[in-house]
Amino acid sequence: MVSAPRLEEGSGDKLARKAKESPFMPIGLAGLAMVCGVGAYKYKNRGTMSTSVFLMQLRVAAQGTVVAALTIGLAYTMANEYLFKKKGDE
């Protein structure tokens, strides 16, 4: 399927188009923002933990959230494409 090139697509339009193509992308971005927000809040109460160790743990949590959302999105897409495909759609 070839589509016409989009002229002067704004960032909001691009985000809306990508969200429609991949519905779990905004969930991954929201999860990333949530992990970073919680991390910023917990940074003040980290106790004796060094900053570098705290930031490394925060990075792993943020990456894990995004990877989990992308994996669920891929599984959702594959399920819709291969498992739930109707016989008349072929």
**Per the structure block, which two tokens stand in for 57?**
């743990």
Assigned domain for 61 exists? yes
Domain annotation covers residue 28: yes
Q: pTM (2 decimals)? A: 0.61
Kindly report, residue by residue over 32-78, the tens digit of the pLDDT. 888 888 888 888 888 888 999 999 998 998 888 888 888 888 888 88
- At 86, phi and psi to the nearest 5? -80, 155
What does the pLDDT read at residue 60? 92
Look at the chain and report how many structural domains it folds into: 1
Asked whether residue 63 is domain-assigned, the answer is yes
Average pLDDT over residues 13-23: 80
Is 66 in contact with 28 (CB distance < 8 Å)?
yes
Is the residue at 6 inside a domain?
A: no
- Give the chain's largest Cα–Cα span: 62
Radius of gyration of the chain (CA): 19
Structure letter (DSSP) for residue 60: H
